[in-house]
């Protein structure tokens, strides 16, 4: 499925393993990159600060990528693809809030020979501090090669370069990988653009809304429905290996958790029996599914092997214990419980021992999700409005990131720098939409979906 076969060569970028010169990109533009690669250890290169950069985004030039030759491919002609590649990269980088792509009027047409020998004189006359150039080539075996180069305009240095070989169906991924290379090299943060979102697509009146599982790229492209809408479906979440999705469905009027296999397109009921099961989430190693089960009006947390079997009970409080999420090392679980009266956040060991309340602010706290970096927990705060917030796993440093009428259900980007969530509108005509906010809370943007959408879950970085 993912055909980004071994990044060609020049992976240099951040890998210090550049001792052995990587093989050059096959027939890259004359003088394929051979110089010493820029590495993360390099001093003096352009740096983009993920906190402060939001208020002063870095101007970046991303001219159209030339084609080695104009060839028709199943993904379109290579010259059209070259234009789209640069658009996708610009859109990704702009969406991070840290970059301002130069408008097309300030870009110049880049010839193939210029890709690795930028016209710095020209670029220095613009406001661009960083320059992204690249090329596209159709290979004899039907694959496409996309080259990606990052330059520091003021020092005229190459900061990173990478090549990607993709099947035509995966051509957009080459653009996302290129954007990830640039983002990571300049910010020092992990990549996140080459990733997907699974969510619930919504349509129809509020009293009988039709809900379907849908999956798409992080930027809304390659959208596809997974279920047909006959049953209500809720809260999909990726397996760590991205081969399946765990979610809750009302199939046969027996609301319970299912695993949807992305390969076969088949759902499988996870826990047998008549009890209501919901709020599922995989463990980081993919071996377990953490979920809630309600029996006779009482809801507790359980875990079950991802392949099914007998659930193990983790909590026994008389309240509603739900919204469980593992820490990235799998050793702890954050969850919400109303055992104290209203919903609050708790952390416990993965076996259910040592349950400690961590939220103490005013209002209620719900839907906690542990950051993939382990340093933060995102949640929904209910105090008048529903708002997305973050706090440390010990409960300190609470910060609210959004302020609308009803924001709910945070899910982390693979690098832990951004959070997707859904926003509900009021009243009979109120619909839900998907959003992304970064950790500063400043950069908030809508994720395009064909219909309304809720319950977004961000998947891991694709391999």
Partner 1 sequence: MAKIKTTLLIATCGLAIAACAKKRPETLPPAPVETPATEAPPATTGTGTGDVSPGSAADFQRSVTSNTINFGLDQYDIDPGARAILDSQAEWLARYPDVRITIEGHCDERGTREYNLGLGDRRANAAKNYLAAKGISPARMTTISYGSERPVATGSDEAAWAQNRRAVTIVLG
Per CB under 8 A, residues contacting partner 1 are 205-209, 211, 232, 234-235, 248, 253, 255, 274, 276, 278-279, 292, 294, 296-299, 318-320, 322-323, 336, 338-339, 341-343, 366-367, 380, 382, 386, 406, 408-409, 424, 426-428, 430, 454-455
Query: Could you give the CA distance from residue 396 to residue 102 in angstroms, rounded to a whole number?
Result: 40
279 contacts 333 by C-beta, under 8 angstroms: no
Burial (CB < 10 A; 0-12, 13-18, 19+), residue 341, is exposed
* Residue 456 half-sphere exposure toward CB, CA atoms < 13 A: 34
Q: What is the CA angle 279-284-287, rounded to 5? A: 80
Retrieve residue 246's tokens.
């765990």
Instruction: State the nearest-atom distance from the C-beta of 195 to partner 1, in Å.
Output: 23
Q: How far is the CB of 147 from partner 1 (least distance, A)?
A: 45
Smaller CB separation from partner 1, 8 or 245: 245
Task: Name the residue nearer to partner 1 (CB basis): 265 or 297.
Answer: 297
Distance CA 350, CA 301 (A): 11
Residue 339 CA to residue 291 CA, distance in Å, equals: 18
CB of 323: closest distance to partner 1 in angstroms? 5
- Please report how close the Cβ of residue 202 comes to partner 1 at its closest, in angstroms: 11
**Token pair listed for 213:** 């599982």
Smallest separation, CB 317 to partner 1 (Å): 8
Residue 48 or 293 with smaller CB distance to partner 1: 293
Side-chain half-sphere CA neighbours of 313 within 13 A: 10
Q: How far is the C-alpha of 439 from the C-alpha of 268, rounded, in Å?
A: 36
Q: Which is nearer to partner 1, 349 or 424 (CB)?
A: 424
172 vs 387 by CB, closer to partner 1: 387
If the CB atoms of residues 299 and 440 are measured against partner 1, the closer one turns out to be: 299
Closer of 127 and 385 to partner 1 (Cβ): 385
CA distance to 108, 167, 169, 337, 453, per residue, from 141 (Å) = 31, 10, 14, 56, 39
State the Cα–Cα distance between residues 349 and 333, nearest whole angstrom: 6
User: Nearer to partner 1 by C-beta: 385 or 392?
Assistant: 385
Helix, strand, or coil here: 373?
coil
| Per-residue CA distances from 58 to 126, 153, 154 (Å) | 13, 12, 13
Query: Residue 242 CB, nearest distance to partner 1 (Å)?
Result: 23
Which of 196, 195, 234 is CA-nearest to residue 453? 234
Q: How far is the CB of 290 from partner 1 (least distance, A)?
A: 12
Structure-token pair, residue 78: 């290579």
CB of 206 to partner 1, least distance (A): 4
Whole-number Å distance between alpha carbons of 375 and 399: 14
Name which of 104 and 430 has its Cβ closer to partner 1. 430
Specify the residue, 262 or 294, whose C-beta has the smaller distance to partner 1.
Answer: 294
Structure-token pair, residue 440 = 């500063």
* Cα–Cα dist 227/221, whole Å: 18
Closest by CA position to 421, among listed 358, 351, 369, 365: 369
Residue 281: CA atoms inside 13 Å, Cβ hemisphere, count? 27
Choice between 173 and 211, CB closer to partner 1: 211
């Amino acid at each position: 499925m993912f055909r980004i076969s071994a990044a060609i060569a020049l992976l240099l970028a951040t890998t210090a393993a550049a001792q052995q010169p990587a093989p050059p990109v096959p027939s890259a533009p004359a003088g394929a990159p051979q110089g010493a690669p820029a590495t993360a250890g390099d001093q003096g290169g352009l740096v983009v600060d993920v906190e402060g950069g939001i208020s002063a985004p870095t101007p970046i030039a991303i001219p159209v990528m030339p084609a080695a030759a104009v060839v028709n491919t199943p993904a379109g002609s290579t010259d059209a693809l070259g234009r789209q590649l640069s658009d996708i990269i610009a859109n990704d980088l702009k969406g991070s809030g840290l970059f301002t792509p130069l408008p097309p009027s300030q870009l110049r047409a880049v010839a193939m020979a210029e890709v690795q020998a930028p016209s710095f004189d020209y670029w220095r006359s613009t406001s661009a501090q960083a320059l992204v150039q690249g090329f596209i080539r159709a290979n004899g075996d039907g694959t496409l090669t996309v080259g990606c180069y990052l330059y520091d305009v003021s020092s005229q240095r190459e900061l990173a370069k990478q090549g990607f070989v993709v099947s035509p169906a995966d051509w957009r991924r080459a653009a996302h990988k290129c954007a990830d290379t640039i983002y990571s090299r300049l910010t020092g943060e992990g990549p996140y653009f080459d990733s997907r979102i699974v969510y619930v697509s919504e349509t129809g009146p509020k009293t009988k809304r039709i809900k379907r599982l849908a999956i798409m790229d992080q930027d809304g492209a390659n959208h596809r429905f997974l279920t047909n809408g006959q049953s209500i479906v809720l809260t999909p979440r990726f397996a760590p290996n991205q081969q399946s999705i765990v979610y809750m469905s009302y199939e046969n009027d027996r609301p319970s958790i299912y695993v949807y296999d992305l390969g076969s397109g088949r759902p499988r009921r996870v826990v047998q029996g008549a009890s209501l099961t919901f709020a599922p989430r995989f463990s980081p190693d993919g071996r377990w599914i953490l979920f809630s089960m309600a029996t006779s009006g009482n809801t507790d947390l359980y875990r079950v092997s991802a392949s099914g079997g007998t659930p193990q009970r983790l909590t026994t409080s008389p309240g509603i214990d739900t919204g469980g999420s593992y820490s990235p090392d799998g050793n702890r679980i954050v969850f919400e419980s109303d055992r104290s009266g209203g919903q609050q956040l708790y952390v416990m060991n993965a076996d259910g021992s040592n349950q400690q309340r961590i939220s103490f602010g005013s209002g209620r706290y719900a839907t906690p999700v542990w950051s993939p970096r382990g340093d933060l927990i995102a949640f929904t705060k209910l105090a008048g409005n529903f708002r997305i917030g973050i706090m440390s796993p010990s409960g300190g440093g609470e910060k609210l990131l959004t302020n609308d009428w009803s924001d709910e259900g945070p899910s982390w980007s693979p690098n832990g720098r951004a959070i997707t969530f859904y926003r509900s509108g009021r009243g009979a005509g109120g619909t839900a939409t998907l959003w992304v906010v970064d950790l500063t809370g400043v950069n908030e943007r809508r994720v395009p979906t064909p219909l309304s959408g809720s319950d977004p879950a961000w998947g891991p970085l694709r391999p």
